[in-house]
Every structure is written in C-alpha cells, then in structure tokens.
Amino acid sequence: MASCRIRVRLGDGQPFQSVAWFQGTSDDAIREVIASGLGLSRAAEFVLEDASGFLVPCCNQLPGGSEYTIRLLPLAVPSSAAQSKDLARTPPTDAPAPRVQQLDGDHKQAAASLSKFERMSSHLANERTFLAWVRTAVAVAGLAVTFSELFSHPSRFPVMFWGGSVVCWAIGLATFVVGILRYRTVKLVLNKPREQITNRFGRTGMAYMIFGFGTFLVIMSAAYIAKLKYD
C-alpha cells in the first residue's frame, strides 16, 4: 500500500522530523501523527507553513516529499517540554492586586452634581419655610389689630384689652424671631459637610409657639364671652 511521507519541524531553526501515513488516512489521524512526532499534545491547534510561506491545512492531500513548519495557533497547547521552556524564559510576576470597583470620571461628576442639587434644593426649602414663618407673624399681627379694635373702650375692659393685645403682639414678634433663628440654624447645618450633620442640630422647638397660641386663644375666647355679656 502506497504511503505519503513529509518532513515537519516545530519552528524556524529546529530539526525536521519525518512523518508518514498510508493513503486513505483521515485528516484527524494525520494531525495526531504530526503532533506525536513533534511532541505536541493532541489538543494542540496548528497549521502548516510551506517553503514559500503559505499556510496550508493538515490533510491527506499534502504532496509527498514536501517540508513544512508548524505554526501554533493562539489557542495551542504546547507540550510539557515547551511549557517548561516558556516558564523558564518568563520572569516571575507579583500576585495581582485585588480588583476594587471605582466610579469612573463620569459617575463621580454625576454624583457630585446630584449632591449639589440636593443641597441647593434644601436651601430653597429652608427659604420657603422662613417665608411661611413671616406670613404667620404678619397674620398674628393682624389678629392683634383685630383684637384691639374689638374693644373700642379699653377703660371698660382693661385686663382683656391690655392682656390680649400684649400676648397677641408678643406671639407675632416671637413667631418672627423663631422663624429667623430656625432659618439661620438650618442654613448653617446645610453648609457643613455631610459627615458632620446629625439629627439634632439645635433647632428652636415648637412647644413654646403652641403654648403662646393656646394662651392667646383662651384670652380671646374669654374676651368675646365677656363682651357678649356686657352688650
């Protein structure tokens, strides 16, 4: 039975190795013969390069007497001897550092913009709250004027007139002062770094204002009742 014989080598400058196979041998068997002759593993992927530099597949149509150079593909698995040579030539490297997820520049810029927007919104909300305090103070002042005009003759109801008027005007002034204090306190807190902000930062409580409005409501109700009895 006729056979085909070629010569192959593992790389430039390496000695040639003769391999042969009988006609009708499959391409996979021919590849295994060439790999075994050069000491490559069966999983190695390679192609043949002829004397002219052209790459040709490993198949049973190769002409007899030709010479080829083995070119390993990127997924090639070299033999243990070749691996040991590569490891000997490769300098040792340090262990890779653990990967740490970090925000890239765009994400950092977006986070900074969001933080600025939140802080700006908080300042605007604080200003709106202060304006609400001012409106409340003006409304209380209007109640004081109404209460004063209710008693056209203060001499008849001196206690009601002076007591109710003083309490009402005091509540209006206190409302305005408390609004200013709370506005300044919240503004100072918003200008601090986020790490220094706590849940309790010295805001003026509402208990005093509730007590003042309650007192004024009692005095005003008593005044109306007394005036109705007098009339």
Q: What are 70-95's pLDDT values in tens digits?
A: 888 764 444 555 545 554 455 555 54
In terms of Cα–Cα distance, which of 54, 82, 59 is closest to 69? Answer: 54
- pLDDT at residue 104 is higher than 60: no
Cβ neighbourhood burial of 30 (10 Å; 0-12, 13-18, 19+): buried
What are the extents of the domains in the chain?
A: 3-89, 121-230
* CATH no. for 3-89: 3.10.20.90
Provide the pLDDT for residue 100: 44
In terms of Cα–Cα distance, which of 46, 55, 50 is closest to 73? Answer: 46
Provide the pLDDT for residue 87: 45
Strand, coil or helix: 35: helix
Say what percent of the chain tops pLDDT 90: 0
Cβ(18)–Cβ(6) under 8 Å?
Answer: yes
Q: Which residues of 118-154 are buried (b: 16+ CB within 10 A; e: fewer)?
A: eeeeeeeebeeebeebeebbeebbebbeebbebbeee
Which residues, 6 or more positions from 215, have their beta carbon under 8 angstroms from its beta carbon? 167
pTM of the model: 0.41
Tens of pLDDT, residues 126-171: 888 888 888 888 888 887 777 777 665 556 666 666 777 777 788 8
- pLDDT at residue 30 is higher than 50: yes
